[in-house]
Structure formats: structure tokens, C-alpha cells
């Protein structure tokens, strides 16, 4: 199933896809104050992906990244790695799985070599000019961090 039915039902009031993504973001923001909301975010995103399994690939990828990132916020890096590996297996041509995973190692764990490897993998599949430029900037910043 996808959200098209709901989108048609509420098209005159609001964009349901935006509401779904806004809820995910609000759960993230609430999680910054109370970790329990990261657990709720995981449940919400999993249920969204299960119920709307035929939804647009970009939204499903976004929700799955949110799941992996929530595990990072909860300090469960092992489960986050599992989630990212599965995400990349299911969406091998989307560079944002690698970018988000690399960010965990760059900004969170300070495992710069691992972050660089993930960013470089993303760069090999990135086609959008914005993504390429973003990755090049991240790699430049990372090199500076590695040697400072």
C-alpha cells in the first residue's frame, strides 16, 4: 500500500506525505530532550514502512535512515550498523544511506577512516551535483579533522 489514497482524501487540506515526515522530525526533536522519543520514532518509522511498503522509495529510504539514526541517538551503534547495512543492501544506488552512515562516524564516533570510506562509496554512486558537492566538502573537512 502507499499513501495515494490518503493524499487524495486530504488534498484540499494538507499534504499527507509532509505530515508523515514532519511527525518523524518532531519525534527526533522530542528525542533530543527525552530519549524515549527515539524509541517511539523507531516504532513509528517501522510501522510506516510496513504499512506503506509501496510508498515512494525516497520516503521509505528517509524513514529507514531515521530508524538507524535513532539507534545511534540511543547509543546502540551495533544495531545502527545493522540497520544501515540493510538499508544499503535494499537501496544500493541511494548515496544518502552512505552519507548518513558516514556522518555517524564523522560527527559521533570520530572514526574518520570509516567515515571517509563511506563518503567515498557515496561519491562513486552520487549523480546529483548537490550530493557530489556536499560529499566533496565533507571529505575536505574530514581530511582537515584527521590531521588537526
Q: Residue ranges of the domains in the chain?
A: 1-91, 93-148
pLDDT tens, 46-58?
Answer: 999 999 998 889 9
Q: Are 48 and 20 in contact (CB under 8 A)?
A: yes
Q: Which residue has the higher pLDDT, 9 or 138?
A: 138
Structure confidence at residue 110 as a pLDDT band (50, 70, 90): confident
Mean residue pLDDT of the chain comes to 91
pTM of the model as a whole: 0.87
DSSP at 104: I
Contacts 24+ apart (CB under 8 A), 73-81: 73/31, 73/35, 73/38, 74/35, 74/38, 74/39, 77/104, 77/109, 80/104
Using the predicted structure, report yes or no on whether residue 8 has a pLDDT greater than 80.
Answer: no
- Contact of 139 with 119, CB cutoff 8 Å: yes
Amino acid at each position: 500500500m502507499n499513501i495515494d489514497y490518503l493524499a487524495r482524501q486530504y488534498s484540499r487540506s494538507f499534504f499527507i506525505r509532509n505530515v508523515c515526515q514532519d511527525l518523524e522530525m518532531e519525534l527526533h526533536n522530542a528525542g533530543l530532550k527525552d530519549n524515549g522519543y527515539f524509541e517511539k520514532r523507531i516504532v513509528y518509522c517501522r510501522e510506516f514502512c510496513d504499512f506503506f511498503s509501496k510508498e515512494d522509495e525516497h520516503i521509505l529510504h528517509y524513514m529507514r535512515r531515521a530508524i538507524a539514526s535513532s539507534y545511534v541517538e540511543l547509543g546502540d551503534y551495533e544495531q545502527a550498523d545493522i540497520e544501515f547495512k540493510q538499508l544499503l543492501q535494499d537501496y544500493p544506488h541511494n548515496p544518502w544511506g552512505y552519507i548518513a552512515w558516514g556522518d555517524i562516524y564523522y560527527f559521533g564516533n570520530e572514526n574518520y577512516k570509516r567515515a571517509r570510506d563511506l563518503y567515498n562509496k557515496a561519491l562513486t554512486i552520487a549523480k546529483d551535483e548537490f550530493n557530489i558537492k556536499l560529499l566533496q566538502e565533507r571529505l575536505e573537512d574530514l581530511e582537515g579533522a584527521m590531521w588537526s
